[in-house]
Amino acid sequence: MTQLGLLEFWAMTDLVTPMALRTVATLRIADQLAAEPKELKELAVATGADPDALGRVLRYLAARGIFEALDGDRFALGETARWLLDDDPSAARRWLDQDGYGATMDQAHLDLLGVVRRGGPVQAANKTSLDPVAAASYDQLMAANTRNESVLLVRAIEWSRFEHLVDVGGGTGVQLAAILAATPQMHGTLVELPTSVDSARQRFEQAGLTGRCDILSGDVLQLELPTADAFLLRMLLHSFEDDQAVDVLSRCRRALRPGGSVFVAEAADTHQAAFTTMDLIVLVLGHGRERTLAQYDELAAAAGLRRTGIHTPPAGPRALEYTA
């Protein structure tokens, strides 16, 4: 095992840099500088910030290669800062925006010591616990993540085997829309909470999919799922405790046509850095956990399912295929 140097260790404890980045992301400083360099006073007026305080933050980040500090108290967009542009495909700015769901996640992590002592958060901060405004911000972030990976999952599985796909907990329908677009003969159903339904319906209308896609609104733990020959649970079960995860899988199995498949798309435990990061995230947000392949197989078995395949895209979650 490689031992970290002392400077590397202290760098890992730094809270100044992440908070400085969140500040400029929330103020949308990168977008202000996208066209040309600007003077500090102009930036402060445009973002409603104090010039002196903002200047100190920008100089700190310029010293670390994020922005460029120019003569005359002007600042320019560095190459690294381009990731903070609002339209960057990474959606980094939106994740860091303290006016959105990112702030909810950050605040949850500040209570990690309390979570470890108690075994969980005082109040869950996952989607089922959010108010409509926070839930909408959550959906936007999840849509950005899914959009970058959706085509990879489309290519990883032969979806043409199926006539009807039910996407359980599919957010605003990014993944389902991608699968339906690539599989013209397929019909789809999105199962989601009421807070996501309007955005999903708008997405399907814009994609010309309304005739091939239904929406079932409600909590999956309280719904009878429609009969189908394929079910997709993408990054859903890690938000549930074991008994709830078995309940969801059981509902899928009861609605599954003979010969059909249930796909569980979750993080691979072979990538320990990403796996353990997500495990802490769902811990502080409440009610969830990352699981190994063996643990998902156990949950599936408890629901009357057995694994018949593993589909691994080049990026994004692997899809475990289960049949009855």
Active site residues: 238
Question: For residues 259 and 120, what is the distance between their CA atoms, to the nearest angstrom?
Answer: 39
> Residue 210: how many CB atoms within 10 A of its CB?
12
Q: How many residues are given for the chain?
A: 324
Tokens 């670390």 identify what position? 64
**Residue 321, strand partner residues:** 263, 309
Q: Helix, strand or coil for residue 14?
A: coil
- Going by the DSSP 8-state scheme, the letter that residue 226 receives in this structure is P
Neighbours of 87 (CB within 10 A): 8
The rounded distance, in Å, linking the Cα atoms of 94 and 189 is: 28
User: For the CA atoms of the chain, what is the radius of gyration?
Assistant: 22
**Euclidean distance between CA atoms 163 and 87, whole angstroms:** 35
Helix, strand or coil for residue 322? strand
Amino acid identity of residue 136, one-letter, is A
Q: How far is CA 51 from CA 59, 74, 278, 314, in A?
A: 12, 12, 37, 45
